[in-house]
């Protein structure tokens, strides 16, 4: 497989990393969002009319029974992450769902010994968008590799680079560590309710 070189407009300006559980939105032309995905999913949502877009990064489609959050679902789970991103783009954009464009990435099966979390994430994102009446403009889902995704929120351009086995091994270790922590204790949000 030929290695794709980074297009010039992705290497200029501010590159902001989107970590697991993050959801970032911008309308600035010099902003690029970047993330590395194994079995995780990132959705890139853009309001075409307002030229506002965002990216999220979620680890699991749903919470296990042992990982309930005190105040509701955390952004590292699919439904919350998608609702959060869509609402943020609608709020900063035109507010019209018809103007939204969706690009989805990730869901790789990067470790043969793990349950195929990536496949469950792919099934979730496709079902979620279908149930909400949205279509996917483009996608790069599945496979047995990790990927770096870069997204220009104003223009909606996306760039995907498939990573090698060294990156896969590192991501597997990180994802296994996160999954084991979630089984031990619930996630606590830094939210104080009044």
> In this structure, how many other beta carbons lie within 10 angstroms of the beta carbon of residue 184?
8
194 residues of the chain, pLDDT tens digit each: 344 566 666 666 789 999 988 999 999 999 999 999 999 999 999 999 999 999 999 987 665 554 454 434 455 578 889 999 999 999 999 999 999 999 999 999 887 666 678 899 999 999 999 999 999 999 999 998 899 999 999 999 999 999 876 655 565 566 555 555 444 333 343 443 33
Asked, for residue 46, whether it belongs to a domain, the answer is yes
Asked, for residue 184, whether it belongs to a domain, the answer is no
- Alpha carbons 175 and 34: distance in angstroms, whole number: 18
Smallest Cα–Cα separation from 38: which of 118, 102, 155?
118
pTM summary value: 0.77
Asked, for residue 79, whether it belongs to a domain, the answer is yes
Burial of 64 (0-12, 13-18, 19+ CB in 10 A): exposed
Asked, for residue 179, whether it belongs to a domain, the answer is no
pLDDT of 83 reads: 94
Number of folded domains that form the chain: 1
Asked, for residue 25, whether it belongs to a domain, the answer is yes
CB 90 within 8 Å of CB 121: no
pLDDT of 158 reads: 95
Asked, for residue 149, whether it belongs to a domain, the answer is yes
Asked, for residue 141, whether it belongs to a domain, the answer is yes
- Domain span holding position 92: 10-163
Asked, for residue 44, whether it belongs to a domain, the answer is yes
CB 40 within 8 Å of CB 121: yes
Burial of 51 (0-12, 13-18, 19+ CB in 10 A): middle
Put the strands of the sheet holding 14-17 in their side by side order.
14-17, 31-37, 147-151, 158-162
- Which CATH number belongs to the domain containing residue 88 in this structure? 3.30.1330.200
pLDDT of 110 reads: 81
């Amino acid at each position: 497989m030929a290695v794709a070189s980074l297009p010039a407009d992705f290497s200029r300006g501010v590159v902001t990393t989107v970590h697991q559980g993050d959801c970032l939105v911008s309308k600035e032309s010099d902003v690029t969002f970047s993330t590395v995905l194994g079995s995780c999913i990132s959705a890139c949502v853009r309001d075409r009319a307002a030229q506002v877009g965002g990216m999220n990064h979620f680890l699991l489609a749903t919470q296990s029974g042992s990982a309930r959050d005190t105040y509701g679902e955390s952004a590292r789970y699919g439904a919350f992450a998608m609702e959060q991103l869509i609402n943020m783009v609608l709020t900063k954009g035109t507010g019209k769902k018809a103007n939204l464009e969706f690009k989805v990435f990730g869901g790789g099966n990067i470790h043969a010994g793990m349950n195929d979390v990536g496949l469950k994430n792919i099934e979730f994102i496709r079902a979620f968008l279908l149930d909400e009446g949205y279509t996917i403009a483009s996608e790069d889902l599945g496979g047995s590799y990790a990927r770096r995704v870069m997204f220009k929120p104003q223009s909606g351009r996306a760039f995907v680079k498939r990573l090698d086995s060294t990156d896969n091994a590192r991501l597997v270790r990180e994802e296994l560590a996160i999954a084991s922590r979630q089984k031990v204790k619930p996630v606590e949000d830094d939210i104080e309710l009044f």
